[in-house]
């Protein structure tokens, strides 16, 4: 503990012996620092708060989601201090009075961007602040920035919507021409390859239909031929004429009528074992027995009506068989032609599918563009005509006569403390570089030899007077440094009062 105390005493003694050096360094650093602070221009800050509110009554109905509205607000925040908007602010305030060239305008814009801050405070609240050399200029800049943002929201949305609609109209017109060309190409290909394309009336379907019809015709032909053969058999067993006696011998009309009924039954397909056929045959036999067993010398022959009826039926059956055979030949010929065409059908179908696919793609793109154009037009009308995004100035731009930067009182005090600290440090460092020993104990530790004693410095009256005079000068110079600091503070506050 005593060692630390001795070291502290030695350090204080070293600084005190070199107090003039410490005072000179403090004065130099303070004067230099205060001059630098005096050269820093004042910046006055103006603040304003705005609210960007979105309407959602109609917005939700036309597809403007809350995410889209939030995106619009974020876009406003990002573009509020864009180069274009800041250029409008420069031209609309006193900043543009000294602008003559585009380079000067660009420099003003970049300088203004570094001194403007836009900060989102809540969901739809924004704080705008500007720090400029004049309080009035800062307020005008903030007010102009709010006006530009509101104008961009009204006119910018309309401009963006108009540009988007023009682009979509051009795209729709181009797609419409391509769609018309594709449709004409598809119709021409269908006309050129009629009957080879898939769908109703294609080669495959026609082949299937021809096969089914040919199968039906074969079945019908078999039935017709069977019926014709049966009819020929019946016709072979039916006499062409009937023997009619001249007088007596039973009733020739009854015999002829019975034979006609028998022929009719056979024509209907009745067999000889059929009960009706057996009965009519017995009747014919009885009638013939009553007539004497045949035609006498005085009898005559008459045409058999059953035979004539069977001949007429045979003619119809033969005509039906002939027609079925002709239809079968025609179908076979058509199927042979379709089989020849069927070899070219896959390539034609593939090309048709490609043409149709291109047409469907163009049509889908065209329909999508038309839908998007209608939606954007409606959204633009909702956003511009119903004020979907509304500006409301919550706090008007403030006018401050107190500089926001720099904080001169704090900087002046910091320079004073830094100067005093630098002076003390310089005196202490110089004391460490010299080889003198302030106390006998330090000399004994440094040399390793015992120190017998030490002799104090004796001052005369004249030397004491000189020392007192120097002390007065030292304290006067130190007080002068503090007085200069106080005068600077007073001047700063007086200047602020005069500005206010």
Considering only CA atoms, which of 100, 97, 130 is closest in space to residue 112?
130
Per-residue burial over 442-468, b = 16 or more CB atoms within 10 Å of its CB, e = otherwise: eeeeeeeeeeeeeeeeeeeeeeeeeee
Tell me yes or no: is domain 44-171+375-395 CATH 3.30.70.1130: yes
At 274-324, the pLDDT tens digits run 777 788 888 888 777 766 444 444 455 666 777 777 778 888 888 888 888
The pLDDT value recorded for residue 439 is 65
| 129, containing H or E segment | strand 125-132
What's the helix, strand, coil split of the chain in %, to 5?
70, 10, 20
At 409-465, the pLDDT tens digits run 999 999 999 999 999 999 888 877 765 666 666 667 767 778 777 777 666 788 888
| Residues 45/404, Cβ–Cβ less than 8 Å | yes
389: confidence class by pLDDT, cuts 50, 70, 90: low
Residue 263 has pLDDT above 60, yes or no: yes
The pLDDT value recorded for residue 94 is 84
Once rounded to an integer, what is the mean pLDDT over residues 21-48? 91
Once rounded to an integer, what is the mean pLDDT over residues 52-75? 55
Residue 487 has pLDDT above 90, yes or no: yes
The pLDDT value recorded for residue 324 is 87
At 170-194, the pLDDT tens digits run 888 888 888 888 888 877 766 666 5
Residue 127 has pLDDT above 70, yes or no: yes
Length of the chain: 500
For the chain, the domains span 2-40+406-451+460-499, 44-171+375-395, 203-348
Q: Which range has the worst mean pLDDT, 82-86, 353-357, 426-430?
A: 353-357
The pLDDT value recorded for residue 473 is 92
């Amino acid at each position: 503990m005593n060692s630390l105390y001795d070291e502290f005493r030695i350090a204080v003694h070293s600084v005190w012996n070199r107090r003039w050096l410490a005072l000179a360094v403090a004065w130099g650093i303070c004067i230099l620092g205060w001059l630098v602070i005096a050269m820093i221009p004042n910046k006055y800050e103006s603040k304003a708060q705005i609210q960007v509110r979105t309407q959602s009554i109609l917005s939700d109905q036309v597809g403007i989601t809350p995410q889209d509205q939030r995106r619009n607000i974020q876009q406003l925040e990002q573009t509020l201090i864009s180069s274009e908007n800041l250029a409008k602010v420069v031209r609309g305030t006193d900043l543009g009075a000294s602008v003559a060239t585009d380079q000067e305008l660009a420099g003003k814009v970049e300088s203004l961007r570094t001194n403007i801050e836009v900060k989102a405070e809540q969901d739809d609240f924004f704080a705008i602040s500007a720090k400029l050399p004049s309080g009035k200029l800062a307020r005008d800049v903030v007010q102009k920035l709010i006006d530009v943002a509101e104008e961009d929201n009204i006119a910018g949305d309309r401009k963006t919507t108009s540009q988007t609609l023009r682009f979509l109209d051009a795209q729709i017109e181009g797609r419409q021409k391509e769609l018309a060309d594709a449709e004409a190409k598809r119709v021409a290909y269908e006309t050129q390859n009629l009957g080879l394309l898939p769908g109703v009336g294609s080669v495959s379907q026609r082949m299937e239909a021809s096969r089914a019809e040919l199968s039906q015709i074969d079945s019908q032909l078999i039935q017709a031929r069977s019926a014709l053969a049966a009819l020929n058999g019946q016709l072979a067993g039916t006499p062409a004429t009937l023997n009619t006696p001249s007088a007596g011998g039973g009733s020739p009309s009854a015999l002829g009528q019975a034979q006609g009924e028998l022929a009719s039954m056979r024509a209907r397909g009745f067999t000889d074992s059929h009960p009706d056929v057996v009965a009519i045959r017995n009747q014919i036999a009885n009638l013939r027995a009553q007539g004497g067993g045949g035609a006498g010398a005085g009898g005559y022959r008459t045409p058999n009506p059953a035979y004539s009826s069977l001949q007429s039926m045979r003619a119809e059956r033969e005509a039906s068989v002939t027609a079925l055979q002709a239809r079968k030949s025609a179908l076979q010929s058509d199927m042979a032609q379709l089989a020849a065409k069927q070899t070219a059908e896959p390539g034609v179908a593939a090309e048709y599918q490609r043409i149709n696919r291109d047409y469907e793609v163009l049509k889908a793109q065209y329909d999508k563009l038309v839908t998007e154009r209608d939606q954007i037009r409606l959204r633009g009308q909702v956003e511009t005509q119903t004020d979907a995004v509304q500006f409301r100035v919550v706090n008007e731009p403030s006018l401050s006569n107190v500089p926001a930067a720099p904080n001169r009182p704090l900087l002046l005090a910091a320079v004073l403390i830094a100067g005093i600290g630098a002076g003390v440090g310089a005196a202490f460092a110089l004391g460490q570089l010299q080889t003198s020993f302030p106390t006998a104990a330090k000399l004994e530790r440094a040399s390793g030899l015992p120190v017998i004693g030490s002799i104090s410095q004796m001052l005369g009256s004249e030397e004491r007077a000189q020392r007192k005079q120097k002390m007065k000068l030292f304290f006067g110079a130190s007080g002068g440094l503090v007085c200069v600091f106080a005068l600077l503070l007073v001047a700063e506050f007086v200047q602020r009062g005069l500005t206010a």
